[in-house]
Copies of this chain bind each other. A is one copy, B any other.
């Protein structure tokens, strides 16, 4: 295995094997995403685009009766996820998860052949990759292209989530605020009774992330919950609410 680190999460309740110098290194986003799963979830969770497995393992660490299916396209990252499951420190979690090396956007028979069966899960979580090109480029044409790509990404990822999650099962997404329109369009007629929570870095600052949770086949209207603020006016300490959610002590959502 290439150079890697073994990092503690949830105040040392689980560990993650991650590439030291490349790929996506898990952190806050994965922990906040995992905190969108209801407390005490008993059932199977699909971590779509799992990377090294941070969000899926965070769910297992908080929900002792949950299982996780870690779905990752990149073989390198899937190998890190497998190494994570085998860590002695994760003994209480590793037996409750499996890794599927597959592209989340597979459709039809290709999706089924990869092991992503219809209605096989009770909940799906996703932290889709950001389109870095959109952040770094300013010309209008590039922005437009990136926007179209983002729309398509959520449509494809949510379509797969709607296939693998059973009726009345849940979906949670963490993403940038800019993608909210694409996300709401993608869940339309698939997942309803959605709850939106904005994540603000400090009081008075615009949100840096959104977490959206919704339920397969439900028809209730979107509700907007009070936001989560990560830090106070100054300093690097987390607010008590953020600290508890990031460290697996409570769900982000009241229900």
Which residues of A line the B interface, CB within 8 A? Answer: 140, 143-144, 176-178, 180-181, 184-185, 188, 196, 198, 200, 203-207, 210, 219, 221-227
Report B-chain residues with C-beta under 8 Å of the C-beta of A223: 177-178, 206-207
Report B-chain residues with C-beta under 8 Å of the C-beta of A219: 140, 143-144
A221's partner among B140, B177, B224, B227 (CB-CB below 8 A) is B177
A226's partner among B205, B222, B225 (CB-CB below 8 A) is B205
> Nearest Cβ distance between residue A113 and chain B, in whole angstroms?
34
Nearest CB to that of A177 among chain B residues? Answer: B224
Q: Is the CB of B177 within 8 A of A184?
A: no
Nearest CB to that of A180 among chain B residues? Answer: B222
CA of A180 to CA of B143, assembled, Å: 23
CA of A176 to CA of B222, assembled, Å: 9
Give the interface centre of A196, A200, A203 by most chain B CB atoms within 10 Å: A196
CA of A205 to CA of B223, assembled, Å: 10
Q: Is the CB of A222 within 8 A of B181?
A: yes
Give the copy number.
2
> Nearest Cβ distance between residue A77 and chain B, in whole angstroms?
27
Report B-chain residues with C-beta under 8 Å of the C-beta of A224: 177, 180, 198, 206-207, 210
Report B-chain residues with C-beta under 8 Å of the C-beta of A207: 223-225
> Nearest Cβ distance between residue A244 and chain B, in whole angstroms?
15
> Nearest Cβ distance between residue A193 and chain B, in whole angstroms?
11
Q: Is the CB of B222 within 8 A of A177?
A: yes
Report B-chain residues with C-beta under 8 Å of the C-beta of A205: 226
Report B-chain residues with C-beta under 8 Å of the C-beta of A176: 221
A181's partner among B143, B178, B188, B226 (CB-CB below 8 A) is B188
CA of A206 to CA of B226, assembled, Å: 6
Give the interface centre of A144, A178, A221 by most chain B CB atoms within 10 Å: A221
**What are 15 A-B pairs with beta-carbon distances under 8 A?**
A144-B219, A176-B221, A177-B196, A177-B222, A177-B223, A177-B224, A178-B221, A181-B181, A181-B222, A206-B225, A206-B226, A207-B224, A207-B225, A226-B227, A227-B227
CA of A185 to CA of B180, assembled, Å: 10
Report B-chain residues with C-beta under 8 Å of the C-beta of A227: 198, 226-227
CA of A176 to CA of B180, assembled, Å: 16
CA of A80 to CA of B226, assembled, Å: 38
